[in-house]
Amino acid sequence: DNTFVLGLTVVSAYVEELDDKFNENRKSEPWLVEFYAPWCEYCKTFEPIWYDVGAELKSLGSPVNVGKLDTTAHSSVLSDFNIRGYPAIILVKGEKSFEYRGPRTKDGIIEFTNRVAGPVVRPLTSAQLFQHVLSRHDLFFLYIGGRSPLKGQYHKVAAEFIIYNYFFSASEEVLPQAVSLQEVPSIAVFKDGTYYLYNEKRDGNLSDWVGRERFRCYFQMDSFTLYQMGETTKLVALAIVDETNPTTESVRYKALMEKVATEYRDHYNTNFQFGYMQGNDYINGFIMGELALPSLIVMNMTIDGYYLPEQKVETMEELLQFLNSVLNGRSKLLGGNGYVRRMKRLYYRVTSAVKTGFASAPFVTCFLLSLPVGLVVMIVWGVCTAVPVDEDKADEGALLATGTRPAASQRKRTEQTSNESKKED
C-alpha cells in the first residue's frame, strides 16, 4: 500500500493543479488540461490515468504541460471553453483549443496530444519516412505535390480534423510505385491496406470528403465513436454481438457487415459507416428497449433515429435488401429526437439509473430517493399544522405595519373623546 501511494505521489508531481491565472499563462506554452468537478465520481476513477498521462508525456520529453482544473472553484476560466461534461480533456495551444473526444485511456490521450501538439501537416521527405508512417498508422491523409490552391484547402481542412487524424504532405517521388496517381497535385487517404484518391467532381467539398473517410471501412465501435458519427451525414450499420460468448450467428453477422463494407464500398460508402459493437448496453439506452444479441441495426446519430430489419437476416442478399430499404425509405424510421421522444429518453435514463443504484447500493439509493419525499412531507405537515391567525388581529397588524390605526381603535378613541366632552359640559 505504501509503495502504491508513493508511486501515485511521484506521477502526480507531473500534473499541475491550475487556478484562475491559467488564462494568463496558457499563451506561452502548450497545455493539456483536465477540467473536472469534485462531485464527479468518474473524475475520481479517472485520476490515476491522468497522472499516468502526465508521467508518460514527461518521460517522452513532450513540450506539453499537463494540468487539472477544478471548474467549481475557478469558474472564471470556463468562459473560453465549451465544457459539456466531465472530465473534459482539452489541449490548449495559444489562442486555440482542441477537445479530446476519444476513449479515456492513457494511450488514446497521448496519441491525441502528440498529434495535435505538433504541426497540423507534417512533411514526409523520404521514401523511408513514408513507409514508417504507413506501418505505424491505420489511417492517414496525404497531400502529394507542390504549392497549389488545393494545398491551401488541405491545410484548412487538416486544422479542422487534426483532433481525429494525421495529415501529411509529400512529393510524388517519395511514394512507392504501387501508388498510382491520376494527376498532381492529389490528396489520398490510406486505410484498410489500400488508398483512395479525392476527386472534387465526384466527392464534392474536401471537408465533407475527409469527414466521410476519416474512419476505416469496418471496425469495432464504442459510445465515443458513435458520438462522433453524429457530426457526419452517414448512417451507421452495426452488428451488435456478445464477443464474450460468441455464437455462429454473431460470427455470421460480423462477417456480413465486413464483406458489404469492403466489397460494396463504391455503392454504400457515401451513405453508410459499417462496424460492430460489443454488448447491447449502449444500444438499449439509445432505443429505450432491449435489443437481442446478436442483432443488426442501422442508426441515424444526427436525429437519434434507428432502423431494424423486419425479418431475420441470414444472407448477403437479405442484408443488401435491408440497407436498400433504409435508403429508399421503405424501412420504418424508429426513435427520433422530438420533444415527446426526449422526455421518454429522460424518463428512461432516470429509471435506469435508479435500477442500477438499487442493484449496486440499495441503502444509499433509498436514502437519496427519500430526501425529496421527506421535504414534501415536511412542507405538507407545516401547512396542515399552521396556527390560524385571527382576522381582526391580522388586519390590525397589517394596518399598524403601514402606520394606519385600525377602525375599531379609532371608534373607541372617538367615543372616549365624546364622553369627556359631555362631562366637561
Residue in 40, 217, 366, 384 annotated catalytic: 40
Least confident of 192-201, 238-247, 368-377: 368-377
Q: Is the pLDDT of residue 169 over 80?
A: yes
Q: Which CATH architecture has domain 216-337?
A: 3-Layer(aba) Sandwich (3.40)
Average pLDDT, the chain: 84
Residues 6+ apart with CB under 8 A from 179: 188, 195
Domain limits of the chain? 16-117, 119-214, 216-337
CA-based end-to-end distance of the chain: 104
Q: Residue-wise over 291-314: b if at least 16 C-beta within 10 A, else e?
A: bebbbbbbbbbeebbbbebeeebe
Q: Which of 151, 207, 144, 148 is nearest to 173 (CA)?
A: 144
Rounded mean pLDDT, 272-287:
94
Q: How confident is the model at residue 281 (pLDDT cuts 50, 70, 90)?
A: very high
Catalytic residue check, 40: yes
Residue range 329-352, pLDDT digits in tens: 999 999 987 666 666 666 555 665
Which comes out higher in pLDDT, residue 362 or 177? 177
Strand, helix or coil for residue 387: coil
Alpha-carbon distance of 179 to 184, in angstroms, equals 12
pLDDT of 74 reads: 85
Rounded mean pLDDT, 151-179:
96
Q: Is the pLDDT of residue 2 over 80?
A: no
pLDDT of 232 reads: 83
Q: How confident is the model at residue 24 (pLDDT cuts 50, 70, 90)?
A: confident
- CATH annotation of 16-117: 3.40.30.10
Q: How confident is the model at residue 78 (pLDDT cuts 50, 70, 90)?
A: confident
Q: How confident is the model at residue 357 (pLDDT cuts 50, 70, 90)?
A: low
Q: Is the pLDDT of residue 159 over 60?
A: yes
Alpha-carbon distance of 368 to 389, in angstroms, equals 36
Rounded mean pLDDT, 225-229:
89
Rounded mean pLDDT, 258-284:
95
Share of the chain above pLDDT 90, in %: 63
Catalytic residue check, 384: no
Which comes out higher in pLDDT, residue 336 or 134? 134
Residue range 399-415, pLDDT digits in tens: 444 444 444 444 444 45
- CATH annotation of 119-214: 3.40.30.10
Alpha-carbon distance of 296 to 319, in angstroms, equals 9
Q: Is the pLDDT of residue 158 over 70?
A: yes
Least confident of 39-53, 75-89, 182-196: 75-89
Residue in 43, 217, 366, 384 annotated catalytic: 43
Question: Is there a common fold for 119-214 and 216-337?
Answer: yes
Rounded mean pLDDT, 211-238:
92
Strand order across the 218-221 sheet = 218-221, 272-278, 235-241, 295-300, 305-307, 334-335
Q: Is the pLDDT of residue 388 over 90?
A: no
Strand, helix or coil for residue 78: helix
